[in-house]
């Protein structure tokens, strides 16, 4: 705080990526606040000047912003992944239930499995027949069907798309969400060790390769695959 | 967080809008820090009392709360932007004064005690060891936790006021045993007394958000006051541990994440780096507020001397300490102003001066930013020499 002009509501902070926009009557989404106790009063000053945001959405609330929201009667929710929101989104905030919904944006829950054999991982190029990300390289991926657990979906997809039978994953990670256009992809990712590099792909892919994880950046990847692989293999997030 | 039925009723607004707001604040903070419940407090100390720091928005909020909210436990206030008796001679504008008066009126309407000091533990209200309190001033918080053994987080202004009104605070952070364990050891050896604030300044920087265990440095109460203020200003921590009498480790034998030694040469280097320019138009002593002992000691050294130099001089203290040693005050008044209820950090110093010399490690953090001063660190002796002959 202090990054907003209290008399106009204009964002001054250059690091915000939204410099020049006004917070007035907006749904203000940002990961977390910083600054001193004076920041709470800065929010209240915006309210007094009629330039306050209509609501605030935080990844993790901290005392300065939470105090500012309460003394200013501004609805606020936290625990929301604000990286999924882009400026201009139509966001519906329900502060009583702690929910923020991005209008017109759908969440798709998918599984992605990385098969590993002797240090190499399997990536597949999506064919011209599939609906999304044609020609890009991915893990073994697919939608989680209604009533199906994510692990069951992963095992089913590995059988369908690679004709490999897997059972217990070596590792799984907390589902990661990525925004792409009007879709939020929530990826449930698994790592399976397989005894051989024998795979046969179905119509969804036209090529596959066993590569070292360090060679990933050389490929045109579906969004987020590098992050997911890094987490599955226990590397630091990029 | 679990709320009792009475607390629920306050949250539902049954006892008026201001109490509801206060309860909302406590509950929101409790949720953020995953507190399980609210706990009763023995006292509160509220920051955000100077018009300079809270502005028009702060006045409006306090005036709104004062319509129907009252403190239910003894509650003190942080220093103001001026001395209510001597603001004209400080050079404060009537506009600033009139806004400051509204802030005072709001706090007094809510039943807060007219104690405008960062050192309430010296005079107005000394908590007991183990008591839970909700204090906001960082230097008072660190003293209460570290030296007295009371328990408080560093509250924000509004949350400390909310705690004063409800008489409770959320149980998290330094209220809980597991969060009061030192994680880094700071070995201080042969610290010259006058570099105590510098030792605190460096300790806070090294500690960051970890509670430090300070060894090898025995301090008087007044030294703890200036050491802790600097620790809390440069570090994000409201407590330190230190060796109790006899050299025994208060917290038992334990391993620390890190042990850092600060030698005399480190202290001298830091003091040199903070030395700043040779010219200053204000000499400011009393951050935290001078104790009666400190006022007497300085008066003893200045007695019989004559004032020197063109710089203005502020000795900042509490009303209570001022009233307790009239003779010392009259000596000090021969060399400058003895001010109550305010200090160089929260007064609108940027409208009055451009460069300030101080013996305070805490003020060295805030004078350049909040006060827009060229700041120069000097030991108390050096400052007294500069203003007398």
All domains in chain A, ordered by first residue? 14-102 (3.50.30.10), 106-232 (3.90.79.10)
Residues from chain B that touch A6, judged by Cβ atoms under 8 A, are 57
Q: Measured at the alpha carbon of residue A97, what is the angle toward residues A95 and A100, in degrees to the nearest 5?
A: 60
A41 close contact with B: CB closer than 8 A: yes
The confidence score (pLDDT) of residue A238 equals 35
Classify strands A27-30 and B75-77 as parallel, antiparallel or unpaired.
unpaired
Q: Which of residues 1 through 20 in chain A touch B, CB cutoff 8 A?
A: 6
pLDDT tens, per residue, chain B with 389 residues: 999 999 999 999 999 999 999 999 999 999 888 999 999 999 999 999 999 999 999 999 999 999 999 999 999 999 999 999 999 999 999 999 999 999 999 999 999 999 999 999 998 789 999 999 999 999 999 999 999 999 999 998 999 999 999 999 999 999 999 999 999 999 998 899 999 999 999 999 999 989 999 999 999 999 999 999 999 999 888 999 998 765 445 555 567 999 999 999 999 999 999 999 999 999 999 999 999 999 999 999 999 999 999 999 999 999 999 999 999 999 999 999 999 999 999 999 999 999 999 999 999 999 998 899 999 999 999 999 999 99
A56 close contact with B: CB closer than 8 A: no
When CB atoms are compared, the residue of B28, B29, B54 closest to A41 is B54
Is the Cβ pair B47, A64 closer than 8 Å?
A: no
Sign of the torsion formed by the C-alpha atoms of A99, A100, A103 and A107: negative
B68 three-state secondary structure: coil
B57 close contact with A: CB closer than 8 A: yes
Give the rounded distance of the alpha carbon of B278 from its chain centre.
Answer: 28
**Residue in B with minimal Cα distance to A78:** B32
A59 three-state secondary structure: coil
A83 is catalytic: no
Residues from chain A that touch B25, judged by Cβ atoms under 8 A, are 67, 70-71
* H/E segment holding residue B242: strand B241-242
DSSP letter string, B1-64? ----HHHHHHHTTTT-HHHHHHHHHHHHHHHHTT---EEE-S-EEE---SHHHHHHHHHHHHHH
B378 three-state secondary structure: coil
Residue A178 β-bridge partners: A185
The confidence score (pLDDT) of residue A236 equals 44
The confidence score (pLDDT) of residue A36 equals 63
Residue A177 β-bridge partners: A186
pLDDT band at A237 (very low <50, low <70, confident <90, very high): very low
Residues from chain A that touch B136, judged by Cβ atoms under 8 A, are 37
DSSP structure class, residue B147: I
Sign of the torsion formed by the C-alpha atoms of B234, B235, B238 and B240: negative
- Reported as a single tens digit per residue, the pLDDT across A103-154 is 999 999 999 999 999 999 999 999 999 888 999 999 999 999 999 999 999 9
Residue from B316, B314, B306, B315 nearest B281 by CA: B314
Q: For the purposes of burial, counting CB atoms within 10 Å of the CB of B16, is it exposed (0-12), middle (13-18) or buried (19 or more)? A: middle
Residues from chain A that touch B21, judged by Cβ atoms under 8 A, are 70-71
For tokens 């004063």, name the residue. B164
Is the Cβ pair B156, A63 closer than 8 Å?
A: yes
Domains defined along chain B, listed by start: 5-177 (3.30.499), 181-272 (no CATH), 276-386 (3.30.499.10)
**Tokens of residue A4, six digits:** 């907003």
Name B63's Cβ contacts closer than 8 Å, sequence gap at least 6: B102, B106
- Is B226 within 8 Å of B197 (Cβ atoms)? yes
Q: Measured at the alpha carbon of residue B278, what is the angle toward residues B277 and B282, in degrees to the nearest 5?
A: 90
A74 close contact with B: CB closer than 8 A: no
The confidence score (pLDDT) of residue B248 equals 47
The confidence score (pLDDT) of residue B32 equals 87
Residue B207 β-bridge partners: none
Q: How far does the CA of residue B74 sit from the closest CA of chain A (Å)?
A: 22
- Is B226 within 8 Å of B200 (Cβ atoms)? yes
């Amino acid at each position: 705080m202090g990054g907003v002009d209290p008399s106009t509501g204009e964002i001054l902070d250059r690091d915000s990526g939204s410099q020049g926009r006004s917070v007035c009557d907006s749904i203000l989404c940002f990961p977390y606040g910083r600054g001193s106790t004076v920041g709470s009063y800065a929010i209240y000053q915006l309210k007094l000047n009629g330039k306050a945001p209509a609501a605030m959405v935080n990844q993790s609330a901290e005392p300065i912003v939470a105090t500012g929201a309460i003394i200013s009667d501004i609805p606020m929710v936290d625990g929301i992944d604000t990286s999924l929101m882009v400026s201009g989104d139509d966001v519906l905030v329900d502060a009583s239930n702690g929910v923020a919904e991005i209008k017109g944006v759908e969440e798709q829950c998918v599984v992605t499995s990385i098969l590993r054999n002797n240090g190499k991982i399997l990536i597949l190029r999506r064919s011209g027949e599939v609906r999304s990300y044609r020609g890009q390289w991915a893990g073994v991926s697919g939608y989680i069907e209604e009533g199906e657990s994510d692990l069951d979906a992963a095992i089913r997809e590995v059988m369908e798309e690679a004709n490999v039978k897997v059972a217990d994953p070596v590792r799984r990670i907390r589902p990661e969400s990525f925004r792409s256009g009007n879709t939020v992809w929530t990826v449930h990712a698994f790592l399976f060790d397989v005894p051989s590099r024998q795979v046969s792909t179905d119509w969804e892919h036209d090529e596959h390769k066993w590569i070292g994880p360090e060679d990933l950046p050389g490929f045109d990847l579906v969004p987020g695959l590098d992050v997911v692989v890094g987490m599955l293999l226990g590397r630091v997030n990029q | 967080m679990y709320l009792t039925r009475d607390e629920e009723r306050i949250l539902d607004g049954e006892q008026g809008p201001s109490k509801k707001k206060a309860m909302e604040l406590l509950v929101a903070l409790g949720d953020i820090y995953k507190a399980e419940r609210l706990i009763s407090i023995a006292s509160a100390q509220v920051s955000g009392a100077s018009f300079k720091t809270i502005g028009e928005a702060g006045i409006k909020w306090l005036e709104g709360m004062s319509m129907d909210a009252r403190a239910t436990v003894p509650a003190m206030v942080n220093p103001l932007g001026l001395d209510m008796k001597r603001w004209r001679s400080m050079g404060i504008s009537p506009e600033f004064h009139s806004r400051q008066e509204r802030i005072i009126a709001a706090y007094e309407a809510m039943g807060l005690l007219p104690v405008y000091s960062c050192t309430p533990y010296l005079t107005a209200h000394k908590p007991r060891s183990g008591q839970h309190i909700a204090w906001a001033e960082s230097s008072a918080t660190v003293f209460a936790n570290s030296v007295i053994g009371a328990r408080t987080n560093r509250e924000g202004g509004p949350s400390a006021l909310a705690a004063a009104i409800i008489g409770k605070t959320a149980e998290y952070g330094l209220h809980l045993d597991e969060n009061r364990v030192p994680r880094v050891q700071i070995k201080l050896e042969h610290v010259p007394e006058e570099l105590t604030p510098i030792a605190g300044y460096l300790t806070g920087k090294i500690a960051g958000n970890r509670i430090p265990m300070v060894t090898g440095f025995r301090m008087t109460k007044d030294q703890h006051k200036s050491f802790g203020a600097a620790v809390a200003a440069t570090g994000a921590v409201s407590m330190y541990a230190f060796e109790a009498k006899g050299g025994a480790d208060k917290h038992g034998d334990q391993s620390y994440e890190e042990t850092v030694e600060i030698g005399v040469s480190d202290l001298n280097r830091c003091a040199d780096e903070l030395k700043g320019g040779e010219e200053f138009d204000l000499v400011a002593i009393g951050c935290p507020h001078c104790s009666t002992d400190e006022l007497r000691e300085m008066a003893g050294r200045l007695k019989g001397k004559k004032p020197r130099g063109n710089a203005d001089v502020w000795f900042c203290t509490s009303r209570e300490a001022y009233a307790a040693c009239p003779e010392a005050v009259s000596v000090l008044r021969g060399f400058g102003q003895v001010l109550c209820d305010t200090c160089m950090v929260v007064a609108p110093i940027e409208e009055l001066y451009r460069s300030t010399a101080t013996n305070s490690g805490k003020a060295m953090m805030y004078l350049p930013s909040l006060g827009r001063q060229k700041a120069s660190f000097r030991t108390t002796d050096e400052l007294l020499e500069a203003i007398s002959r």
